[in-house]
Amino acid sequence: MGFAGAFSIAYIPRAFVVRGDAASTANNVLVSPLLYRFGIVADLVNQVAFILLVLVLYELLKDVNRFHARVMVAFVITQATMSFAIMITQIAPLVILSGADYLSVFPKEQLDAATLGVLTVRGRAIVALGTYMGLWLLPFGALIYRSGFIPRTIGVLLIIAGSAYVISTLIFFLAPDLFRYSSVFMMAAAAAGEISIMGYLLIKGARTEPA
């Protein structure tokens, strides 16, 4: 998920979208269509893996608090559903720039502008998705904190990370000039929380005996 998500959400926009330049953005998609399609596939892989991950976490943590575990799953399913919907905006340029006969009524400049427009919408939608990226970490962090078989510190870090995601998303829409500052805190908090739980489960694993 980490590699697929970073490739699709971070690398692909930087590789293809040229801010304010519709012609260059469209040309980037036309020149490297396979790389662009890999971004779509990475998005699909990421969301499918996310659903499978939360089901495994549910089995691990359901006995800690079944309600919180269900809320965690609900937030992830909602996020995955929204991500699949947002994927339409990533697929759209392949249609807009396909050169199909029915598109010949539109000048190239309009097709290029439409391409940049939908990819810009995708970027904004992914930021909005940050709300659910954060919300699922709150019950997850609470479950970790109360579990007794994973260090409580990791649960606290996950709750901080989840809160940072939500706050940063709200700042993006309500005070966009401050977003570049809040995003730095959000990324630091997310890295501390998410890397901590990944590292702990991969290296040490959940102990069968309470801490």
What is the C-alpha separation between 188 and 16, in angstroms, rounded?
A: 26
The structural domains of the chain, with segments of one domain joined by +, span 1-129, 136-211
Collapse the DSSP code of 207 into the 3-class scheme (helix H, G, I; strand E, B; otherwise coil) and give the result.
coil
Collapse the DSSP code of 71 into the 3-class scheme (helix H, G, I; strand E, B; otherwise coil) and give the result.
helix
More confident site: 183 or 151: 151
pLDDT at residue number 211: 46
Q: What is the chain's mean pLDDT, rounded?
A: 91
pTM here?
0.85
pLDDT tens digit string along 99-156? Answer: 899 999 999 999 999 999 999 999 999 999 989 999 999 999 999 999 988 899 999 9
More confident site: 205 or 46: 46
